[in-house]
Amino acid sequence: MAGISSPKQVAASLTELWSPRVVAEVDDAYVKVAKVQGSLAWHSHENEDELFLVLKGHLRIEMESGPVELSEGEMYVVPKGVRHNPVAERECHVMLIERKTALHTGDVVTEKTRSLAEQLRPV
C-alpha cells in the first residue's frame, strides 16, 4: 500500500455505501475511505479513537452529548468509549483513521457491519 493515492478519487469510485476500504497503513492504524448516506448505527469503540475527515458533502455525528456537524474539509475525533452514530442526509465521502483493532461498527453488529477482510479488498 505504499505510494501516492487519492482518497477523494477512491471514495468517489466506491459503489457500496457504508463499506469502508483501507487505502493506507500508518504504524498501528488504517486509513480508510467510505461513501455513506443515511444512518450507520449507534455504537462505540471501547479502546480506539476514530477520526472522521469529510472529503465531500456533509456528515453529522450523533452523540449523546449532542451532534457534531462536519462540512467538506473538516474533521472530528470521536474519543474511545463514546457512543456515536454517523449520519449523512445526502451522499458523503469520508476518510477514517483508526487503530487496526477497531471493529467497523464497534460493539454492535448490523447488516451494514463489514469485516476487516471486506475492508481490505482491493479497490
Domains in the chain (CATH in brackets) are 7-102 (2.60.120.10)
pLDDT digit string (tens) for 76-116?
Answer: 999 999 999 999 999 999 999 999 988 777 677 767 778 77
Pairing outcome for strands 75-78 and 84-99? unpaired
| pTM given for the model | 0.88
pLDDT tens-digit readout, 8-49: 999 999 999 999 999 999 999 999 999 999 998 899 989 999
Q: How confident is the model at residue 106, as a pLDDT?
A: 67
Exposure b/e, 15-45, CB count within 10 A at least 16 = b: eeebbbbbbbeeeebbbbbbbbeeebbbbbb
Determine contact, residues 57/90, Cβ cutoff 8 Å. yes
